[in-house]
Amino acid sequence: MLEKLKQEVYDANMRLPELKLVTFTWGNVSGIDRNKGLFVIKPSGVEYSNLKPSDMVVINLDGKVVEGNMNPSSDTPTHTVLYNAFPKIGGIVHTHSPWAVAFAAAKLDIPALSTTHADTFYGNIPASDPLTKEEIENSYEESTGKVIVRTFKNRKIDYESVPAVLVSQHGPFAWGETPGKAVYNAKVLEAVAEIDYHALQLTRDNINVPQYLLDKHYYRKHGDKAYYGQESAMSNIHAIHE
């Protein structure tokens, strides 16, 4: 069942240690088959070196296990909420990558300070509100998804052009058209968090990039007029590496 998607999700999970985005098992990737309304996700707490494609667990859009011998990631309800709320995404990744978690712990957006950011994120990567006591105590992982969705709605951020969030006090979630693209976005997020941290220590000036630079760099790589890469706008949809 969904063997090809399981392989794709497995491959994307294995990219996390390669890209130095995880310590131990602190990360998970899922990918969805929109036609079937099913997604597959890494099992909970299994070491990357022991993981196999067949370990991936199949989940429906109500968050129920449809196939699999292992417990799915404990973050499965968060993925379920996001797949329901963000209909155009094909993959989701969660990590505890250290630069991103530092911003999440500080409850601060990762601001758009350079073209490295603008190439992938069309504006600040938002830090969510912290979850309330009630949200944490009741259906915590589902609440996490809901807080993410609420953050994008309240701040009028487009989830397609800003494909990541920091859950305050917790860490980053990123998504994309495919599981591989979600992992790519998670790595860009970590790279810009590192850059921004240092830039913010170097100066107290307002160094946010202007809107016209965001426009230029984002649309150089995305949309109809993209001209980066080998296949115009299509290339950044299919390639794990931009």
Q: What is the rounded distance in angstroms from the CA atom of residue 50 to the CA atom of residue 11?
A: 13
In whole angstroms, the minimum distance from the beta carbon of 7 to its own copies comes to: 20
Residue 228 annotated as catalytic: yes
In whole angstroms, the minimum distance from the beta carbon of 58 to its own copies comes to: 17
The answer to whether the Cα torsion of 7, 8, 13, 16 is positive or negative is positive
Q: What is the rounded distance in angstroms from the CA atom of residue 238 to the CA atom of residue 242?
A: 9
Rule CB under 8 A: which residues touch its own copies? Answer: 23-26, 43-47, 70-71, 74, 96, 98-99, 101-108, 113-116, 130-131, 133, 136-137, 140, 169-171, 184, 187, 191, 194-203, 205, 207, 209-210, 212-213, 216, 220, 227-230, 235-236, 239, 241-242
Angle between helices 179-202 and 3-18 (to 10 degrees): 20
Q: 3-class SS at 239?
A: coil
In whole angstroms, the minimum distance from the beta carbon of 13 to its own copies comes to: 15
Residue 129 annotated as catalytic: no
In whole angstroms, the minimum distance from the beta carbon of 10 to its own copies comes to: 17
Q: What angle do CA 48, 58, 89 make, to 5 degrees?
A: 85
Compare residues 96 and 150 and give the one whose CB is closer to its own copies: 96
Q: Catalytic pick from 48, 140, 197, 228?
A: 228
Q: What is the rounded distance in angstroms from the CA atom of residue 70 to the CA atom of residue 191?
A: 33
Q: Catalytic pick from 75, 83, 119, 218?
A: 119
Q: What count of residues does the chain have?
A: 242
The residues annotated with a catalytic role in the active site are 119, 228
